[in-house]
Structure 1
Amino acid sequence: MQEQGNLIDTDELRAFDAVATKRSFSLAAAELGSAQSTVSQRIARLEKRLNRRLVHRTTRQVSLTPDGEAMLIYARSILALSEEARLRLARPGLKGVLKVGIEDEFVRTRLPEVLGIFRAQFPDFGLKFITGRNEHLRDVLRSHEVDVILGKSHNGKEAATLWEEQLIWVGHRSLQLRPSDPVPLVSYLKPSLTRDLTERALLTSRRPWIDVAECSNLLGVIAAARSGLGVMAIGKSFKKTVLEEVPEDAGLPPLGKLTYVVESNGASLDSAAGAFRAVLSEVAKRSTG
């Protein structure tokens, strides 16, 4: 005898999710590769298990009851967890050490989340990190000090795109900037892709600027901007609460986008680097939508 209140029957939940999505028993059956009668039976068993009416069905339409709408949230969460567990357990265990280079801006914002996910999925696998500016990371990749890097696009043949990052102007809230003022610019030392885009935007808009601070790393750039010395360019999803986006009335030109990519030494990513890239991609999607 089935125990009432035991909700975990993924076949029933999948049938319910399919019917809720398609609003049709026949379309749900086609999607699941089952007979329509099987789908109906699974929905009926789920309703009996819950002692709640979940689906309202007429000759013309299928709709969810209020209890059905509430149950759909739980059903999809349970199915997502089930799929995550299946993928995790089906994945072969990784052992060894992966040497990784990570770009500064990502390190300060999202790296802890990436490390947490990777550690949970591959507890027996080690990581060694080099962090820094994009140009330095490319050097250590060429010298085989790392196996894979996450950096900004340079149109390399081995680059695998993860996401595009919109650049914005940020500065301390105390900084007042008028459209007629030369832009007090805080930037990286050259060479720098971010600096190149920044200066190109200012030149294109014929907006004069003054280099008030040049720094070799992100910590220095942020410190200078936080002090109120000037404005800087940074990826929108990397913006810190201590800095505010420069208002439109300052008249600063749009900056465009940078592409973040994964590059490796080999012709293709091996299993370890591929797994790390998958985690990076997952976190990037969460952060940028």
Structure 2
Amino acid sequence: MRQQGNLIDTDELRTFDAVATKRSFSLAAVELGASQSTVSQRIARLEKRLNRTLVRRTTRMVSLTPDGEAMLIYARSILAISHEARLRFARPGLKGVLKVGIEDEFARTRLPEVLGIFRAQFPDFGLRFVTGRNEHLHDVLRSHEVDVILGKSHSDLASEPGEATLWHEQLVWIGHTSLQLGSSDPVPLVSYLKPSLTRGLAEKALLASDRPWVDAAECSNLLGVLAAARAGLGVMAIGKSFRKTTLAEIPEEAGLPTLGKLAYVVESNAVSSDSAVGAFRAVLSEVAKRSADKEHHDAAALPLG
């Protein structure tokens, strides 16, 4: 039996992934910044390495063979591991403790992913973090109790020094499924205590639509606000991707106004240039990109009609 050579050539795997995605050698060449002949040669070398035909190519179309479909799964896994390894070893080793502030809603949903990535890339580095409302995070940043925060911002507000937007979050109205709200009923509002950016946007939207409301419940933290909403006391505003399955978006028949979007921003002290801060910001950016890609993929997968 002829022994096959090394299967791990990332240039060939990356080219194969591009051809499989684009279903075109010419489009893959454009994406990779290579010539079409180079793309063809890399695919031919990979097929020779495997002793299998991976790609069917005619004058009108490019498709994968069953072996090609199977190999694509391995190729993408290998490329992902290679990418993570480059990220891990391209940065200098870090030791010490990074102090981080994380906004409540993010802390309850995506923080474990961030911590896992950071820990994998910097196993000798410690994290000390606080979670809480946006206003509190800015207070602890200004007092230098933390090095970097992930908080909220709004397009109507001027950017702070050292602030960078990671993604925009659509705000939605949510409440318990048992809550019945007519289009002319006063809105029972569940919200944070003032000052609160999310509460301010909710009240602004209600005022602009001439919709009356009553303060059904107020709390200083997210756990309390969610508890009140789950108890059916009223409706609350929250980022769409942070909505929990125990609460549902309020149907259009309730006539609630559109809330708009908030920006999630990462901000560090202007005097801070620590490499650990830059590394944590990079991890946050990576998670934000993954979330955006997943949201785009999920939206594209929805049936039309």
Q: Is the 8 A contact 2:95 2:125 kept in 1?
A: yes
Structure 2 counterpart of 1:186: 190
Structure 2 stretches lacking a partner, 5+ long: 296-305
Instruction: Supply the AA of the counterpart residue of 2:129.
Output: F
Q: Residue 286 of structure 1: CA displacement?
A: 2.6
Distance 1:227 1:30 in 2: 52
Structure 2 counterpart of 1:28: 29
Q: Is the 8 A contact 1:24 1:61 kept in 2?
A: no
Distance 2:98 2:104 in 1: 19
Q: Residue 174 of structure 1: CA displacement?
A: 1.0
- The counterpart of 2:286, out of the listed 276, 282, 289, is 282
Structure 1 counterpart of 2:244: 240
SS of the counterpart of 1:229?
coil
Structure 1 stretches lacking a partner, 5+ long: none
Describe how 1:33-48 pairs up with structure 2 within 5 A.
Answer: 33=34, 36=37, 39-48=39-48
Structure 2 counterpart of 1:11: 11
Alignment CA distance shift 1:177-1:144 (3 Å):
same
SS of the counterpart of 1:12?
helix
Distance 1:12 1:212 in 2: 61
Distance 1:244 1:78 in 2: 39
Deviates more, 1:158-167 or 1:13-22: 13-22
Deviates more, 1:39-48 or 1:159-168: 39-48
Q: Is the 8 A contact 1:55 1:62 kept in 2?
A: no
Alignment CA distance shift 1:34-1:80 (3 Å):
farther
Q: Is the 8 A contact 1:237 1:287 kept in 2?
A: no
Q: Residue 43 of structure 1: CA displacement?
A: 2.7
Distance 2:2 2:32 in 1: 28
Instruction: Please state if 1:170 is matched with 2:174.
Output: yes
Instruction: Please state if 1:127 is matched with 2:131.
Output: no
Between the two proteins, what is the percent identity of the paired residues? 76
- The counterpart of 2:269, out of the listed 258, 262, 265, is 265
Q: Residue 243 of structure 1: CA displacement?
A: 0.9
Distance 1:92 1:9 in 2: 26
Instruction: Please state if 1:157 is matched with 2:144.
Output: no
Distance 2:116 2:107 in 1: 13
**Residues 144-193 of structure 1 deviation map (CA, whole Å, 9 limit, x = unaligned):** 11111111115333211111111100111111100121000111111110
Q: Is the 8 A contact 1:23 1:61 kept in 2?
A: no
Distance 1:2 1:90 in 2: 37
Describe how 1:81-160 pairs up with structure 2 within 5 A.
Answer: 81-153=81-153, 154-158=157-161, 159-160=163-164
SS of the counterpart of 2:108?
helix
Instruction: Supply the AA of the counterpart residue of 1:257.
Output: K
Alignment coverage as a number of residue pairs: 287
Instruction: Supply the AA of the counterpart residue of 2:160.
Output: K
Alignment CA distance shift 1:15-1:234 (3 Å):
closer
Q: Which structure has the bigger radius of gyration?
A: 1
Structure 2 counterpart of 1:220: 224
Q: Is the 8 A contact 1:22 1:28 kept in 2?
A: no
TM-score, normalised with respect to structure 1: 0.89
**Residues 114-173 of structure 1 deviation map (CA, whole Å, 9 limit, x = unaligned):** 111111111111111121111111111111111111111153332111111111001111
